[in-house]
C-alpha cells in the first residue's frame, strides 16, 4: 500500500503505478474473498440464526425504518371517545295518558279460555316451580276441568279488584 502511494504521488498515470494498483486490487479482492469464506464457514443457522439474519440485513443494505412519533396524544384520544359517546339528539318518549276508565275496564272483562290457553302455551319449560311446587310442564298438561277451574279462579279474583 505504501509502495502504491509513493508511486502515485510521483506520477499517477505511469505504467508502474497502474501495475501496482492492479496488484493491490487483486490482493484486496483475495483478502475480501478469504474473509467472506471464513464468515460463511463460521455461520451456523441451526444454533444462531440471529447472526445470519444480521448478515442478510447488512448485505441487503435496507436501513431499518424509524417510525415517527405519533402526533396524537392520549388525552386527545380520550377526549374524542367522550365526544363519540355523547349524543345530542335525545328523543322524548311520548307519555302514556292513562285514565281511570281505561285502567279499570281492561280487568273488568273476564278472561276467556283462549286467553288462558295462549298464556299457558307461552310459559317456558324447565323453570323451577313456585311456592305451590307445580312445574310449568304440569300446568301445560292440565285437563279441561283443571283449566276451567284456573280460569274461574282468575276471573273471580279480577272481579273483586
Task: For residues 53 and 59, give the distance between their C-alpha atoms in angstroms, rounded to a whole number.
Answer: 10
Would you say residue 18 lies in a domain? yes
Would you say residue 74 lies in a domain? no
pLDDT score for 11 = 79
Half-sphere exposure of 125 (CA within 13 A, CB side): 5
Would you say residue 71 lies in a domain? no
Would you say residue 23 lies in a domain? yes
Closest CA to 18 of 59, 10, 33: 10
Q: What is the pTM of this model?
A: 0.36
Using one digit for the tens of pLDDT, what is the confidence trace for 26-41? 989 999 999 888 887 8
Would you say residue 78 lies in a domain? no
Q: Where are the alpha helices (DSSP H) in 43-99?
A: 49-60, 74-85
Number of domains in the chain: 2
Share of the chain above pLDDT 90, in %: 27
The residue range of the domain holding 155 is 100-160
Would you say residue 77 lies in a domain? no
Using one digit for the tens of pLDDT, what is the confidence trace for 76-88? 999 998 888 877 7
Using one digit for the tens of pLDDT, what is the confidence trace for 122-161? 999 988 888 989 999 999 999 999 999 999 998 887 666 6
Would you say residue 31 lies in a domain? yes
Separation of first and last alpha carbons in the chain: 118
Would you say residue 50 lies in a domain? yes
Rg (alpha carbons) of the chain, rounded to whole number: 48
Amino acid at each position: 500500500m505504501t509502495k502504491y502511494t509513493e508511486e502515485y504521488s510521483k506520477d499517477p498515470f505511469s505504467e508502474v503505478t497502474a501495475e501496482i494498483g492492479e496488484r493491490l486490487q487483486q490482493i484486496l479482492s483475495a483478502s475480501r474473498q478469504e474473509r467472506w469464506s471464513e464468515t460463511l464457514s463460521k455461520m451456523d443457522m441451526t444454533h444462531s440464526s440471529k447472526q445470519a439474519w444480521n448478515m442478510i440485513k447488512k448485505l441487503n443494505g435496507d436501513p431499518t425504518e424509524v417510525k415517527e412519533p405519533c402526533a396524537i396524544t392520549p388525552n386527545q384520544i380520550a377526549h374524542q371517545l367522550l365526544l363519540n359517546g355523547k349524543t345530542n339528539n335525545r328523543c322524548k318518549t311520548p307519555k302514556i295518558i292513562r285514565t281511570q276508565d281505561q285502567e279499570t275496564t281492561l280487568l273488568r272483562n273476564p278472561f276467556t279460555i283462549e286467553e288462558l290457553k295462549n298464556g299457558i302455551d307461552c310459559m317456558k319449560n324447565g323453570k323451577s316451580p313456585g311456592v305451590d311446587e307445580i312445574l310449568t310442564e304440569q300446568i301445560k298438561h292440565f285437563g279441561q276441568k283443571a283449566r276451567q277451574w284456573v280460569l274461574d279462579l282468575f276471573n273471580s279474583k279480577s272481579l273483586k279488584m
